[in-house]
Amino acid sequence: MKIHNLTKEEVFRTLVTSENGLTEIEAQRRLHEFGFNEIKEVKKKSLLIRFLGQFTHFLAILLWLAAFMSFLSEYIHPGEGMLTLGLAIITVIFINAIFTFIQEYRAEKALEALKKLLPFNVKVIRDNREKEVSAREVVPGDIVLISEGDRIPADTRLIETSGLKVNNAPLTGESEPVLRSLDPFEGEFIESTNIAFAGTTVVSGSGRAVTFATGMRTEFGRIAHLTNAVETGLSPLQKEIIKATRLIAAIAAAIGIFFFLLGFVIERSFWNNFIFAIGVIVALVPEGMLPTVTLALAMGSQRMAKKKALIKTLTSVETLGSVTVICTDKTGTLTQNKMEVKEVWTLDNSEPEIKLLMQTAYLCNNAKFIDSQYKGDPTETAILKYAREAIGDVTAERISEIPFDPERKRMTTVHRIHDTGCTMHPPLSPLDKGGIKGGYHESCIMNHASLFAFTKGALESVLPLCSYVLIKEKKLPVDENMKEEITNAYHLLMDKGLRVLSFAYKEMKDTPPPIPPPRGGRVREGVSPDIESKMVFVGLIGLEDPPRPEVPEAIRKCNEAGIRIIMITGDASRTAVAIAKEIGLVKGNPIIIEGSEFNQLNDKELREKLSEEEIIFARMTPKHKMRVVSILKEEGEVVAVTGDGVNDAPALKKADIGIAMGITGTDVAKEASDIILLDDNFASIVNAVEEGRMVYENIKKFITYIFASNIPEAVPYLAYILLKIPLPLTIIQILAVDLGTDMLPALALGAEKPTPGVMRLPPRSFKERLLNLSLISRAYLFLGPIEAVACMFGFFWVLYGGGWIWGTMLPSNNILYMQATTACLTGIVVAQIANVFACRSFRESVFSIGFFSNRLIFVGIAFEIALQIFIVYHPWGNAIFATHPITAQMWLVLIPFAVILFFAEETRKLIVRRKIA
């Protein structure tokens, strides 16, 4: 038998405890047996394993292979500079691994700082005495004392309550606080009214409960375990980088092998062919791409952090930019998770009637205003706040109360109100009729000493109790027309998405006799059931959990960006639809699927529903949300899921991007997510999407920049083997470009501002490749050849200027040869200066986006020139890179090629723009 089916006495016997609590000795024994009351992270990789993982992804393996070949070549045929090459490549691998690990480690530590742990101290009964213990030391069988504002430390079975209401939103997604009871419950465990679950909060009342599950055995812990069992998979960027590196590796290997074999045909030695093949592979493999991508993502994550979005894994930066669907919860994500009075209604909406409605709402209320703060149930605090601001404080003595009960759907309080005199109307004769009684108006009766009952609740519960209505300050018998008018007003407010409560009162002659407490609640000084009869209907109050003010604009931007937003909530469908319409999420009549209907849909039917333009899921559970995300991903969508509750965590983990709320989010949700919104602001998602799109766009820009230099690095090797000339560029000089002069300009492209209108473009197709034909042809067939002409022109300019004769092979330490290779290297660097401006946009002219708008470009160019000057003119640079100083005239000879490249690219962009127009 399950614990929620048991009586109080059976619970004590089952858990071997009593109302006196456990003894300290027994509590310590159980702590040793069951362990600490804490959520454990399952299957989390150690820091060492995660660090080593940075050395084993595909691009790293490719670089390891290149390093191995370099060391092998140095061992077999020393003196060719291959040792230096191998060490340089390994340095790149380590720098990238350390940087990536540090960034993700810092994000994890920031997450730990954000975690809101279970309550630190909890009041328990042990050895028949009340004492405070750490929440992690609570054990099964402990008697826990709970009161307003507490978070429940473990799964507990209630044994005593006094108006206790618990907000289960962190666990179930249902925002409405639920009244707790003591009686055995025969329904579903998760819906039990006699259970207070770990991680939920007490919004009003107090009670005692016996703990039956702690730590990972709680519902909270089971969902955490389910979350850890979900496999996340690779991000779109990770997949694209793997595909790109495999393509590059295949191209480099194929060309290297081809020319290695060709060397034998033209009768070159094995080692010349082998060194040549390695040179071609090194030239075509962009060693600088890995650290540049990593640094660009890190820069994006830092910019996101400034916009209140904490990035846990670097690749999440770009993934968010490719999102096609956002599945979002309602409560606390689209809304503020706080109730607010939106409208009040009476039959004639006159000032006296509205004042009486406010007085009734003020008194029939368990919220309190203490120390300049409203405390209690969110609905009741909203009503008290509104009434208090409308009429001020009302002085009355509460005699008794019938608490709200889910079956009755109402609550009633009895008050003695002291005579304050009427300030609204002159004294009236006792003979006056028409609803004016005893010398005062009906709407002013609370200005005179008397005993009153006040009731509030659902209309279907309150209206049948009413024999009268208040119209124009007169108490009139209620008729069917009046009931219809009231009901229509009720439905009108409901259709606006408001939670509507109705209010009534009754003047009583004498203090009523006490009666037994009603089921599910406890009457402070019991009242007679006849007080809830022949009441006077006063009016209606409509409340709303208001949307976050920034949400409508954020949704509009998502719509422009081609991103679908699907609401998946635990709340009722009517409320969900009304909120959705208010924030602009839906405009017509959306498809609405509730949990019961959802369970009956097979995958094919669900796919058909998800293909609808507007759809809302209501009354959903964690498994439901997981299934929606899974189906969407199977359909090729890139899915982001937002949420803050424990119930959101499995879907957060399953999604391509999980977005948790930093302020209201639970620990499990934060742990499962990829991005945490530090300000819980839905609009921050839009900023992050734009940042993600910008990062992907910029990655393509600097890949174009990096790849363009591969052609002038490879052409010298082709010329070397085909034209029988000295090798124009050494391998170590190739690395000087890839890992030296190119790095900062490439990073500066990573900080480029987004192309205008990037948020008005649809999400990129999952079929779109990072290395597409357009990018490769631009880099390899347009920009690269211009740079190759520049570097080869510089090489031959120096050789012929020094008297070289075609066909003469020069030794590697020959000054003329070193000057020629230096000129070749300088030609690449000069051309890359123009290329960095060319790569700032794909179609727009550099002058239209602002020639000086990215100041980091100029910092990168300054670094590039300074490093090249060091390589060309400093003795250390000469020694490391086998260079020799060249004349200033040589630089001037090369500059025209940079000008040609820049304006050739501007011309190409102009032609593209005209074709599009």
Distance CA 344, CA 338 (A): 18
* 618-655 burial code (b ≥16 CB/10 A, e <16): bbbbbebbbbbbbbbbeeebbbbbbbbbbbbbbbbbbb
Distance CA 417, CA 447 (A): 8
Q: Name the 3-class secondary structure at 370.
A: strand
Q: Which two tokens stand for residue 152?
A: 């429940």
Mind listing the pLDDT tens digit for each residue in 35-65? 888 776 555 566 677 778 778 766 677 778 7
Neighbours of 23 (CB within 10 A): 12
Tell me the DSSP string of 607-674.
Answer: HHHHTSSSEEEES--HHHHHHHHHHHHHTT--EEEEE-SGGGHHHHHHSSEEEEETTT--HHHHHH-S
pLDDT (0 to 100) of residue 859: 93
Between the alpha carbon of residue 67 and those of residues 61, 101, 203, the distances in Å are 10, 22, 63
Distance CA 315, CA 301 (A): 9
- Residue with the larger pLDDT of the pair 561 and 178: 561
Mind listing the pLDDT tens digit for each residue in 72-127? 777 777 766 677 777 877 887 787 677 667 756 665 665 454 444 334 678 899 99
Contact 750, 703 (CB under 8 A): no
- Residue whose token pair is 């290997």: 253
% helix / strand / coil in the chain, to the nearest 5? 50, 15, 30
CATH 3.20.20.30: does it fit domain 340-544? no
What is the largest distance, in Å, between two alpha-carbon atoms of the chain?
Answer: 131
Domain boundaries, the chain: 3-41+112-229, 306-336+547-688, 340-544, 709-916
pLDDT (0 to 100) of residue 445: 54
Contact 363, 538 (CB under 8 A): no
Interstrand relation of 410-417 and 450-457 (parallel, antiparallel or unpaired): antiparallel
Interstrand relation of 373-375 and 368-370 (parallel, antiparallel or unpaired): antiparallel
pLDDT average, residue stretch 770-780: 86
Nearest to 142 by CA among 6, 7, 1, 34: 34
pLDDT (0 to 100) of residue 235: 59
- Among 68-72, 500-504, 725-729, 881-885, which is the least confidently predicted range? 68-72
Q: Among 70-74, 309-313, 395-399, 821-825, which range has the highest average pLDDT?
A: 821-825
Indicate if the alpha-carbon torsion angle 808, 811, 815, 818 is positive or negative. Answer: positive
- Residue with the larger pLDDT of the pair 513 and 396: 396
C-alpha 379, offset from chain centre:
28
Contact 650, 94 (CB under 8 A): no
- Residue with the larger pLDDT of the pair 419 and 651: 651
Q: Do domains 3-41+112-229 and 709-916 have the same CATH topology?
A: no
| Catalytic-residue membership of 329 | yes
- Residue with the larger pLDDT of the pair 426 and 348: 348
- Residue whose token pair is 């004016």: 436
Which residues, in sequence order, are bridge partners of residue 506?
453
Q: Which residues contact 560 (CB under 8 A, 6 or more apart)?
A: 759, 760
Helix (H) or strand (E) holding 302: helix 289-306
Mind listing the pLDDT tens digit for each residue in 873-891? 999 999 988 899 999 999 9
Distance CA 892, CA 552 (A): 57
Contact 451, 399 (CB under 8 A): yes
Mind listing the pLDDT tens digit for each residue in 533-588? 899 999 999 988 888 888 898 898 888 888 999 998 876 677 788 889 888 998 88
Fold of the CATH domain 709-916: Calcium-transporting ATPase, transmembrane domain (1.20.1110)
Indicate if the alpha-carbon torsion angle 518, 520, 524, 530 is positive or negative. Answer: negative
Q: Name the 3-class secondary structure at 368.
A: strand
Distance CA 617, CA 628 (A): 10
Which residues, in sequence order, are bridge partners of residue 256?
none
Interstrand relation of 201-213 and 155-167 (parallel, antiparallel or unpaired): antiparallel
Q: Among 564-568, 616-620, 749-753, which range has the highest average pLDDT?
A: 564-568
Distance CA 173, CA 164 (A): 19
Instruction: State phi, psi for 545 to the nearest 5 degrees.
Output: -85, 100
Mind listing the pLDDT tens digit for each residue in 692-719? 888 888 888 888 998 898 889 888 888 8
Assign residue 23 a region: left if phi > 0, alpha if psi is -120 to 50, beta otherwise?
beta
Instruction: State phi, psi for 69 to the nearest 5 degrees.
Output: -65, -35
Distance CA 73, CA 839 (A): 36
Contact 652, 659 (CB under 8 A): yes
pLDDT average, residue stretch 790-802: 94
**CATH classification code of 306-336+547-688:** 3.40.50.1000
Interstrand relation of 657-661 and 397-405 (parallel, antiparallel or unpaired): unpaired
Q: How confident is the model at residue 524 (pLDDT cuts 50, 70, 90)?
A: very low
Which residues, in sequence order, are bridge partners of residue 660?
643, 676
Q: How confident is the model at residue 9 (pLDDT cuts 50, 70, 90)?
A: confident
Distance CA 263, CA 379 (A): 83
Is the pLDDT score of 7 beyond 80?
Answer: yes
Nearest to 566 by CA among 320, 326, 321: 326
Mind listing the pLDDT tens digit for each residue in 134-176? 888 999 999 999 887 678 889 999 988 877 888 776 666 555 6
SS3 track for 327-354: EECCCCCCECCCCEEEEEECCCCCHHHH
Contact 509, 471 (CB under 8 A): no
Q: Which two tokens stand for residue 428?
A: 């009236």
Q: How confident is the model at residue 785 (pLDDT cuts 50, 70, 90)?
A: very high
pLDDT (0 to 100) of residue 29: 92
152 secondary structure, DSSP code: P
Q: Which of 150, 155, 329, 648 is catalytic?
A: 329
Distance CA 205, CA 179 (A): 9
Distance CA 383, CA 406 (A): 19
Instruction: State phi, psi for 124 to the nearest 5 degrees.
Output: -130, 165
Contact 489, 459 (CB under 8 A): no
Contact 69, 276 (CB under 8 A): no
464 secondary structure, DSSP code: G
Indicate if the alpha-carbon torsion angle 74, 75, 78, 83 is positive or negative. Answer: positive
pLDDT (0 to 100) of residue 100: 67
Q: Which two tokens stand for residue 252?
A: 């480099």
- Residue whose token pair is 């009952």: 453
Is the pLDDT score of 665 beyond 80?
Answer: no
pLDDT (0 to 100) of residue 287: 60
Q: Which two tokens stand for residue 81?
A: 């500079």
Contact 764, 696 (CB under 8 A): yes
Nearest to 779 by CA among 702, 697, 858, 861: 702
pLDDT (0 to 100) of residue 364: 93
125 secondary structure, DSSP code: E
- Residue with the larger pLDDT of the pair 420 and 300: 300
Fold of the CATH domain 3-41+112-229: 2.70.150
Mean pLDDT of the chain: 80
Nearest to 770 by CA among 326, 319, 324: 319
